[in-house]
Amino acid sequence: MYRLLSAVTARAAAPRGLASSCGQRRVHQRAGLPPLGHGWVGGLGLGLGLALGVKLAGGLRGAAPAQSPAAPDPEASPLAEPPQAQSLAPWSPQTPAPPRSRCFARAIESSRDLLHRIKDEVGAPGIVVGVSVDGKEVWSEGLGYADVENRVPCKPETVMRIASISKSLTMVALAKLWEAGKLDLDIPVQHYVPEFPEKEYEGEKVSVTTRLLISHLSGIRHYEKDIKKVKEEKAYKALKMMKETVAFEQEKEGKSNEKNDFTKFKTEQENEAKCRNSKPGKKKNDFEQGELYLREKFENSIESLRLFKNDPLFFKPGSQFLYSTFGYTLLAAIVERASGYKYLDYMQKIFQDLDMLTTVQEENEPVIYNRARFYVYNKKKRLVNTPYVDNSYKWAGGGFLSTVGDLLKFGNAMLYGYQVGLFKNSNENLLPGYLKPETMVMMWTPVPNTEMSWDKEGKYAMAWGVVEKKQTYGSCRKQRHYASHTGGAVGASSVLLVLPEELDTETINNKVPPRGIIVSIICNMQSVGLNSTALKIALEFDKDRSD
């Protein structure tokens, strides 16, 4: 460019007339006439200079500071712009997590690693987790596959079977009816469902009530139909628990006379056990029971009662805990009669109120977006699809589908109702909870004579397992208060855990409920214990929250 300008300038040594057009310039040059004048050279120099400036500007544009979006420059060549590292725009999907999530980065990383280990240990195809802190969802993630055959990955929106967490949902319907005065928890169920026959136990007439059904104290059977096997197993567990309790007390108090008492007790109990062969024979687990794989479609809860209504009670109502999904089938019938609505219609209204828009009953025909497939390992340890099942006989006890996000919403609604009474004095503008504080306290109060199979430290309450706050020794293990429910279905496992913040009147200022950690985990593999994992995750987030 510089040489071209120099040559043109050299030829313009003397002043000449200005050519009137480009054609005239070419003729003038071909005829060997004197060089053109300064004016033409100046114009040419100015034009070439502008072109050079545009070229240089295009090359430097990538290094210029970021500008607000504008219309694309038609003269700018993409090839002239070397790739540059650009800062993330606020709206970009690659934008770093918001500050609240970054506060829990350590807990998220630790919990993700824990879930990977659990997933690998049990060989689960997929697992989804969700965590909320003080009512705000701070983490949700899917690991593995929702559909192995089609390589569909798990994601927060993945829909899976929640199994027995359905019992906790049904409890909300019962509680709303009780609050409205439409349901008495302590009168015989025949008042609402006369189709369920009156019962006797060992020749004595007994009453089954709604309250007993809720806490699995009714004596109604579960999937195992052999009453002898069930009673043997219960006796064996009771004996084992008594031995452990006495041994613990002996070690704790160190009294020699207790040793003698324990020896005497042990001898008596072992003799009694031998007489009735107390160690039970091999009892089928739930996944070996035929009723778990029913394919029959039941039109309503009343029709489902025929599966068990004529069977004898296994225990006297109120005397012993016997977990029973069929008991919740009877509760669904009670909801229908007390509310005047079909059970599923009444539940859908509750789900709408709680903003649980992806929670529905499981049916095969409807197209349910993001529904996972469910898996099990066969006898050859190969992953296979689970057989088709129809859960219409147990909507209330284990028949709903949901996502971790919906379960978090449900957990927060329960926690809000549980805590809002504490905050009323400091904040009168708080909205009421979906359930009243006294109702939630009743629901989360452990019931005597019950068991919590997924955590031996706890007791069953009203459709929730509850572990109470406890600390035996100073500077040692401190047991936190929490409520949870697990679920186990054909090809699925689940847990919903609520860890409330430990509040007192001095710490509630400038705070609003719900205060605590909610963890939900769903998995498309059966027989996966998830409660301890959920509790560990909750404690990880609680630690970061405190820090």
Across 212-226, 252-266, 483-497, least confident range: 252-266
Average pLDDT over residues 313-324: 96
- List the structure tokens of 372: 């996972």
Q: What are phi and psi of 288, to 5 degrees?
A: -105, 0
Paired sense of beta strands 516-523 and 126-133, if any: antiparallel
pLDDT at position 410 over 80: yes
Distance CA 30, CA 24 (A): 10
Distance CA 143, CA 127 (A): 5
Q: Within 132-164, where are the H helices? A: none
What confidence tens digit (pLDDT) does each residue in 110-150 have? 999 999 999 999 999 999 999 999 999 999 999 999 999 99
- pTM for the predicted model, two decimal places: 0.76
Catalytic residue flag (residue 207) = no
Q: What pLDDT is recorded for position 507?
A: 74
> In whole angstroms, how large is the CA radius of gyration of the chain?
36
What confidence tens digit (pLDDT) does each residue in 439-448 have? 999 999 999 9
How many CB atoms are located within 10 Å of the residue 6 CB? Answer: 10
DSSP structure string for 179-235:
HTTS--TTSBGGGT-TTSPPEEETTEEE--BHHHHHTT-S----S---HHHHHHHHH
Nearest CA to 311 out of 449, 201, 463 is that of 201
Give the H or E element holding residue 384. strand 383-385
* Whether the Cβ atoms of residue 243 and residue 264 lie closer than 8 Å to each other: no
Average pLDDT over residues 421-434: 85
Average pLDDT over residues 72-98: 38
Q: What pLDDT is recorded for position 416?
A: 97
Q: What pLDDT is recorded for position 516?
A: 97
pLDDT at position 59 over 90: no
Most confident of 21-35, 117-131, 221-235, 277-291: 117-131
If pLDDT is split at 50, 70 and 90, which confidence band does 266 have? low
Which of 111, 132, 140, 164 is an active site residue? 164
Which strands form 160-161's sheet, in the order they lie side by side? 160-161, 400-402, 360-361
Q: What pLDDT is recorded for position 174?
A: 98
What confidence tens digit (pLDDT) does each residue in 470-522 have? 988 999 999 999 999 999 999 999 999 999 999 877 778 788 999 999 999 99
pLDDT at position 168 over 70: yes
If pLDDT is split at 50, 70 and 90, which confidence band does 429 have? confident
Paired sense of beta strands 204-206 and 160-161, if any: unpaired
- List the structure tokens of 333: 């019938």
CA distances from 205 to 197, 202, 407 (A): 11, 8, 41
pLDDT at position 84 over 50: no
What confidence tens digit (pLDDT) does each residue in 4-50 have? 444 444 444 444 443 344 444 443 444 444 444 444 444 444 454 54
pLDDT at position 426 over 50: yes
Determine the residue type at 122. V
If pLDDT is split at 50, 70 and 90, which confidence band does 427 have? confident
pLDDT at position 350 over 80: yes
DSSP structure string for 453-482:
TT-TT-EE-SSSEEE--B--STTS--BPPE
Q: What pLDDT is recorded for position 146?
A: 98
Q: What pLDDT is recorded for position 186?
A: 98
Q: Which residue has the tokens 């430097």?
A: 60
Higher local confidence (pLDDT), 230 or 38:
230
Q: What percent of the chain has pLDDT over 70?
A: 72
Average pLDDT taken over every residue of the chain: 82
Q: What pLDDT is recorded for position 27?
A: 39
